Amino acid sequence: MVKEIANANQIYISIISELEFKSFAKISLNDINLFDDFGSMISVLDLNAADNQLKSNIIEIRKTHKLKLADEIIAAAALVNDAILFTADKGFRNVKGLKLKLLST
């Protein structure tokens, strides 16, 4: 994973992932500060009501996969941005066209 990140032109995180991380019940202020420092070095993929391709992808994934809505949004954002999704969640494996890098936990 370090090699892929080092060679990346751009690194993104979904707004969904940011919200999930920061709303974790036992997160410390230090962890939030570290995340914010990290966030200043990357781009956050927002939900944009005008992004019809993103909305279409979310709808299609929602109709064809058994993922949580948040995961469907993350997958659709990766597809629209032609990004590699780094995750430990094997539920993403069946999303057609998704560039996936499964991490071991």
How many domains is the chain partitioned into structurally? Answer: 1
Domain span including residue 47: 10-102
For the purposes of burial, counting CB atoms within 10 Å of the CB of 95, is it exposed (0-12), middle (13-18) or buried (19 or more)?
buried
Question: Which pTM value belongs to this model?
Answer: 0.81
Q: What is the pLDDT along the chain (105 residues), one digit of tens a residue?
A: 667 666 777 788 889 999 999 999 999 999 999 999 988 888 888 888 888 999 999 999 999 998 999 999 999 999 999 998 999 999 999 999 999 999 886
Collapsing DSSP to helix, strand or coil, 61 comes out as: helix
Collapsing DSSP to helix, strand or coil, 88 comes out as: coil
CATH number at residue 50: 3.40.50.1010
> Quick one: tokens of 103?
């991490």
> Quick one: tokens of 44?
């956050």
Residue 25 in any domain: the answer is yes
Residue 1 in any domain: the answer is no
